[in-house]
Amino acid sequence: MNLLILGAGGHGRVVREVAEATRQYENIAFLDDNTGQSDVLGKLSDYDKFTGQFDYAFVAIGNAVARKKYQEFLMDRYEIATLIHPAAHISPSVSVGRGTVVMAGAVVQTNSKIGAGCIISAGAIVDHDSVVGDYCHINAGAIVPSMSTVADMTKVDYGAVYYGRTDDKWIEEHKRQYGTEPSFF
C-alpha cells in the first residue's frame, strides 16, 4: 500500500513516522506548496495527479479549516488513512474517525469517540466516555477528562485540561446505549 500525505511540514513529518511505525505502507510521499524537499512530489493542489499511484491519502495540515477542506476533496479519490502509532494506547471500545492520527504515548480510554480528521498528539489523554468532535486537535500533554464533549474544530492546547463535561442529554444517551448510569469513578 502507498500513502500520499498532504503537508510536509513538522506535523507532516511526524505523521510520516507514525505511518512508518504501523508498517502498513511500502511507499510514503508528500504534496506541499513548498516543493523544495526531495520527497515532495508536487503542490497540494496536485492531489488528482496521483490517484493511480497511491491507495491512501492523509491530510497533515495543522489548520483545522484547511485540514477539513483537503480531506473532503480527497474522499472521492483515495481511501483516507487513519493512523494510530503502535505506542499509543487505544481501548478496544473506542471509535476513531477517518483521517485521524493518534501519536505515540497518547491514551484514549473506554467508550470514547474520536471524530474524523483529528490530531491526538503525543502524550494526550482522552479519558473514558468522552467525545472528541471532527477536526479537533488535542495537543501534546493535554487532558480531556472523562465524559467530556469537545466540539468540532476545537484545539486543546499543550498541557491544558479541557473542561467540557457533558450535559444531561449525553447522560441519557449513555443510559440508552449501555443500560446504566455513567460512572465517574
Write 115-120 long-range contacts (CB < 8 A, 24+).
115/152, 116/71, 116/80, 117/59, 117/64, 117/67, 117/68, 117/71, 119/11, 119/62, 120/88
SS3 category, 5:
strand
- In this predicted model, what pLDDT tens digit does every residue of 77-98 receive, in sequence order? 999 999 999 999 999 999 999 9
Is 128 assigned a catalytic role?
A: yes
Which is it for strands 125-126 and 113-114: parallel, antiparallel or unpaired?
A: unpaired
Residue 54 is placed in which grid cell? Answer: 497511491
Which is it for strands 119-120 and 101-102: parallel, antiparallel or unpaired?
A: parallel
Residues whose CB is less than 8 angstroms from the CB of residue 23 and which lie 6 or more positions away in sequence, other chains included: none
- pLDDT computed for residue 185 by the predictor: 41
- In this predicted model, what pLDDT tens digit does every residue of 30-42 receive, in sequence order? 999 987 777 899 9
Q: Of 11, 128, 137, 174, which one is the catalytic site residue?
A: 128
> Closest Cα to residue 100, out of 24, 15, 25, 175?
15
124 pLDDT more than 80 = yes
